[in-house]
Amino acid sequence: MVPGRSQETVVTSEPVSYRLCSLREDVMVEVDGGGDFIMLTTHWGDATIAQPTEAVRESLERMSLGPVRLDNVLPRDPAERRRVERVLELLNGVVVHSLGHEEMSGPVLSAVPIARRARFILPKIERHRPIKLSKFAAMRASEGELVLESPLARHRLILHRPIASQVVTLLGRATVLPDLAAAANLGLPMVREIVSYLVAAGMVLIGIGDSPTSARFAEDNDPLLAPWTHHELLFHSRSRIGRHDNPLGAMPSDMRQIQVAPAVKPVPDGPRFPLYRPTLAELAAMDPPFTEVIEANRAIRDFSAGDPTQQQLGELLFRAARVRSMTQVGQDDLSYLVTDRPYPSVADRYELDLYVTVNSCAGLSRGIYHYDPQGHALTLINRSETELAELLDVAMVAAGSRQRPPVLITMTARMARFACSYGGIAYSTVLEHVGVLQQTLHLVATAMGLAPCALAFGDSEIASDAFLIDWPAEVSVGEIALGVRPEVDSLKKNRPLEMPCFTDTKRHVKVTDKLLY
């Protein structure tokens, strides 16, 4: 049901607040010539209302023009009123609910549905019940206004007036309505109205108990939410369709900058070292069977068996990450180059670049190198022992190893190469590409008798400084450590690895503390 004006706001001496409804700005309402149906074109698809009454047609047409007070559009006849209300319930996914106030020219706040299954039901909140802002809610600026969002909510709250944002900020800790009204220096009925909208939109929780200090809130002990932090759940909800209305796919033409994001990053200045190019026919004849490689593929954290050679590193990069060919696609201003490489990438964008940190590798001096996938060569870009040591120490901890890896390969992403055509899901897709490249490197390294170990994390600040890149135009997104495979873990024996033990305890504790604190 869509209630009208609450009784409490009517009987008080305060200026009256009231409920406004409108359709999302992207909804188009079309009435056929005979009036047999109304077609609504929405973000979620088309909706048809058959045999609409005059009241239904007038309500939807007025709501498509902006917020309207329901008392002014709902018919007095009870049966007709219920029919309009039922139609609005069916269209909950596109109906914007706003709180108006007679002393203000515009709404106080608006709850905008961002999912097809959005539902908006105003609760009755008793004055003694504890209330608190959800720990998953976050406030940000958007198009000149403050917006409140949560990955758990199917509405976005637009806080049009300062009193709305004031109430939100005071809900950071549990409280009750009378105390909240006193702290905000606002009347209790107005505060109750604002909080009821926040609850209906999924931003504020109603607790159990009579005291805010001892109140229990559902999300605090929910086993389904326990594995999630705020930013991870928000990232998940925004990188899949269904729980948001953010644009996906190509960005507006004036935001496309594909032409300034080259298919291959220009080679930086520095000494250049061409890498070994193996013969693919010989590799095919010498490699172990694919099934054997798959079964032997695992993360190896023991780097004590020796150091890889420049030739092995060249073979690995050639087989896993080189540019095989380049092709021009598109037309006119939207034409651009794409590349073909050994691992897959959505639309052949290949936004990932590789940096190689060499601790000990026969044929290469210690240092930090950039890999040119087109020329198949390394360029020495940084000789800093401090930054090299920091990168290797982080890798050691991330691998759970007892020593620094001989070689560390870091993946970075040039976001302008990808986000221009995959806005909204760009970064999540980049991370999928990282997994694909890590797997490709892992399999090739395993087939070569090397010891690969994909890492779960890296330090973006250290990487930005060490690789001389401009964050966030180019960001580090993944790592893989590399050594020589121990004889006891050769492809033929496939013996499971033991759990890692840390012999250098002082160094491990020191590096871990630096990472965490």
CB 479 within 8 Å of CB 411: yes
Whole-number pLDDT of residue 368: 98
Which stretch of DSSP H or E encloses residue 510? helix 505-516
CATH 3.40.109.10 residue window(s) in the chain = 269-277+285-487+497-516
**Residue 312 pLDDT greater than 60, yes or no:** yes
Pick the range with the lowest mean pLDDT from 5-19, 82-96, 224-238, 425-439.
5-19
Six-digit token pair at 382?
């940084």
Whats the size of the chain, residue-wise? 517
CB 95 within 8 Å of CB 43: no
Give the burial class of 113: count Cβ atoms within 10 A of its Cβ; 0-12 exposed, 13-18 middle, 19 or more buried: buried
Q: Between 294 and 80, name the one with better pLDDT.
A: 294
Whole-number pLDDT of residue 228: 92
Pick the CATH number of 269-277+285-487+497-516 from 3.40.50.720, 3.40.50.300, 3.40.109.10, 3.40.47.10: 3.40.109.10
**Residue 384 pLDDT greater than 50, yes or no:** yes
Whole-number pLDDT of residue 335: 76
Q: Virtual CA dihedral for 296, 301, 302, 303, nearest 10 degrees?
A: 100
CB 67 within 8 Å of CB 21: yes
Q: What 3-state DSSP class applies to 208?
A: strand
Residues 6 or more apart in contact with residue 255 via CB below 8 angstroms:
420, 423
What is the arithmetic mean of pLDDT over 214-230?
90
Mean pLDDT across the chain: 87
**Distances 306 to 152, 179, 485, 507 between C-alpha atoms, Å:** 50, 68, 8, 21
- CA–CA separation, 14 and 314 (whole Å): 77
Pick the range with the lowest mean pLDDT from 93-97, 253-257, 318-322, 338-342.
253-257
Six-digit token pair at 324?
């095989």
pLDDT band at 409 (very low <50, low <70, confident <90, very high): very high
- CA–CA separation, 178 and 173 (whole Å): 14
| DSSP per-residue codes, 462-482 | HHHHHHT--TTTEEEEEEEEE
**Residue 92 pLDDT greater than 60, yes or no:** yes
Whole-number pLDDT of residue 102: 86
Q: In this structure, which amino acid lies at residue 362?
A: A
Report residue 29: phi and psi, to 5°.
-110, 125
Pick the range with the lowest mean pLDDT from 30-44, 135-149, 202-216.
30-44
Q: What 3-state DSSP class applies to 449?
A: coil
Q: What 3-state DSSP class applies to 13?
A: coil
CB 98 within 8 Å of CB 109: yes
What is the arithmetic mean of pLDDT over 118-133?
94
**Residue 388 pLDDT greater than 50, yes or no:** yes
What is the arithmetic mean of pLDDT over 146-156?
96
pLDDT band at 74 (very low <50, low <70, confident <90, very high): confident
Block residue for tokens 């395993």: 446
Verdict on whether the full-model pTM lies above 0.85: no
pLDDT more than 90, % of the chain: 66
Which stretch of DSSP H or E encloses residue 63? helix 54-63
Q: What is the largest CA-CA distance in the chain?
A: 90
